[in-house]
Amino acid sequence: MNQKMIRKKFVHPTILKRIAAGSKQTLSVIVYSQNQCDHIRECIEKAGGKIKYELPAIRAIAAEIPAESVDHIAAHHMVQFINDDAKVFKCMDFASLAANASLVNDAGYTGKGIGIAVLDTGVYPHHDLVRPTNRIVAFKDFINNRAQPYDDDGHGTHVAGIAAGNGLSNERYKGIAPEANIIGVKVLDEEGSGTTSDIIAGIQWIIDNKDRYNIKVVNMSFGSPADNSYKDDPLARAAAAAVQSGLTVVVSAGNSGPNARTISTPGVTPSAITVGAVDDNRTSTYADDFVADFSSRGPTPSGAVKPDVVAPGVNITSLSNTGPTAYVSHSGTSMASPMVAGVAALMYEQDKNLSPAAVKNKIMSTCVAIGEPRTAEGSGIINIDKALSVENISLPTTPSQDYPRQRFGRPRRQNPGMRFDPSLLAMLFLFL
């Protein structure tokens, strides 16, 4: 039996998703035996695993095993299944702690009144965005020309929640700027795809209406392969025009890592803030963070270093379009980008006179380097309290584990030659 078949038959999908994300840590698992536990104990220990509990009632052993040993253990003839240990959590709360958002919110910065334009698949009127006050202050539909907010894919709603959900339905999943306003601009269809012209029209609409809705930040969690200089790329040029008009433009780096030169457009735009994804290991410290395998790397076709920064982007829980109080978890640089967009909104609340260049420079200069190449991590992982110069705020040393939470995940790798994957919206392939 080959490796693919072994994994499919004997390994829980959650574990496989962690491996696919490039995990370097040990994994908490429950290994079920075909018979008695002693048949698999030696296998686990020889593979570098650490026995945590023997669970004879279910003929299993709870253990910490190296990620690289999963295939070896799964192939053992007495192993029935390798399950997740359930010490796995939905990550919006931990991701927010790692970025330090909740602490800055407590200090009084919530993005109130600042407009974040989300160019995406739309935005669903989730309770966390419309109650107690409707913060979807405008909606423009370039796909179906509908007047009322909706999202027939779900990606845009998830993104909006990361940036500005208020946690009304579940405080654990509050976004970065929970009182910011959302301006939904639907430029992608129900499959998460769209055209360059629709997106540029959306950018133009935002530029024309930025003063009307106090739009300060634009989030674009999509991309297409960047084969040419940003100077010749329509999306990159449109993003640069938005920055020139006074808007901070935040763009996902793309999900075609770990190879070099995979930054997508409009992420190649020099003046935009291009965001890669890190796995924060469900802790509130930076020491164990690493750039996710799927996160696109630089340099750009023009030789520039990108991404600019990284933010948590593995199994992030945010708003779902399936119901007014529903949540879902996704992974990708699409999830990392709105975290930075939320940070920018907080900064504009603190100082409305900031320029896009000042916002970008301050975010980058206050990042925490995590020891990976600049073409993978940029300046490092965002640190919100430093970006806002908030003093006397310290992170907790360990994450809260008061409530068990199940992770969800979707495929995160995108083959540049394949059709757009709506389940992740890893990359949007546009015909330029």
Enumerate the active-site residues. 120, 155, 334
Cα 120 to Cα 163: distance, rounded to the nearest angstrom: 13
Cα 303 to Cα 230: distance, rounded to the nearest angstrom: 11
Cα 145 to Cα 155: distance, rounded to the nearest angstrom: 19
Q: Using the structure block, give the residue that is written with the tokens 């279910």.
A: 58
Cα 14 to Cα 64: distance, rounded to the nearest angstrom: 15
Residue 415 burial (CB < 10 Å; 0-12/13-18/19+)? exposed
Cα 204 to Cα 320: distance, rounded to the nearest angstrom: 28
CB 164 within 8 A of CB 217: no
Cα 226 to Cα 201: distance, rounded to the nearest angstrom: 20
Q: Which residues contact 223 (CB under 8 A, 6 or more apart)?
A: 251, 252, 253, 254, 264, 265, 266, 267, 427, 428
CB 294 within 8 A of CB 21: yes
Q: Which residues contact 154 (CB under 8 A, 6 or more apart)?
A: 121, 124, 320, 321, 322, 328
Show the DSSP H helices in 38-176 as ranges: 38-46, 70-74, 92-99, 101-106, 127-130, 155-164
Cα 245 to Cα 240: distance, rounded to the nearest angstrom: 9
Phi-psi sector, 303: left (phi>0), alpha (psi -120 to 50), beta: left
Lookup: tokens for 367: 């990042």
Closest CA to 401 of 128, 97, 29, 53: 97
Gyration radius of the chain over CA positions = 21
Cα 236 to Cα 242: distance, rounded to the nearest angstrom: 10
Cα 102 to Cα 175: distance, rounded to the nearest angstrom: 9
CB 276 within 8 A of CB 307: yes
